[in-house]
């Protein structure tokens, strides 16, 4: 069952930004949410509004590019690892897609940066090649 809200940690995973950076955006008022029982909660609408800000989009884009750059610059790896840039057009239900993707990514233990803009979703995924293959073959939307 999917949540009706996301947390600071969820936003961190989806954007690639650190929890500390997300909390800085909260403190500055650039990210709005509700504190419930000591924990911040954000609706899909609040998260989407947050992502439309130029400074936030640029930070997320830099993190996405950095994830690929770091993967390419690694000289040695302890085990086999892959990096996949997965783009797909999204007509509707982007929030559902994002939630299902992040649920699956978290359950599989993959690294992920997610970005959505103007009908196009992009996920930059890192992890085991076999696990990435499993994810790429699953249906995320009905």
pLDDT tens digits, residue range 109-126? 888 888 788 888 888 899
Alpha helices in the chain (DSSP H): 8-15, 19-28, 44-51, 54-73, 94-108, 129-137
Q: Which pLDDT belongs to residue 3?
A: 65
Structural domain of 104: 8-137
| Cα within 13 Å of Cα(115), Cβ side | 22
**pLDDT in the model for residue 142:** 53
Query: pLDDT tens across 17-61, in order?
Result: 899 999 999 999 999 999 999 999 999 889 889 988 999 989 988
In a domain? residue 1: no
Q: Number of structural domains, the chain? A: 1
Contact 30, 42 (CB under 8 A): no
Q: Flag whether 24 is in a domain.
A: yes
Is residue 2 situated within a structural domain?
A: no
In a domain, 115, yes or no: yes
Q: What is the reported pTM? A: 0.66
Give a yes or no: residue 45 inside a domain. Answer: yes
């Amino acid at each position: 069952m999917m949540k009706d809200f996301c947390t600071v940690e969820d936003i961190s995973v989806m954007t690639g930004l650190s929890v500390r950076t997300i909390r800085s955006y909260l403190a500055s008022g650039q990210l709005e949410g509700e504190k419930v029982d000591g924990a911040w909660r954000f609706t899909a609408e609040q998260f989407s509004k947050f992502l439309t800000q130029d400074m936030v989009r640029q930070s997320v884009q830099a993190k996405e590019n950095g994830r690929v750059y770091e993967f390419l610059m690694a000289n040695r790896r302890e085990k086999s690892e892959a990096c996949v840039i997965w783009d797909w057009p999204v007509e509707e239900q982007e929030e559902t897609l994002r939630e299902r993707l992040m649920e699956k990514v978290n359950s599989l233990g993959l690294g992920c940066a997610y970005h959505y803009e103007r009908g196009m979703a992009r996920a930059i995924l890192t992890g085991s090649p076999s696990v990435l293959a499993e994810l790429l073959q699953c249906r995320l939307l009905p």
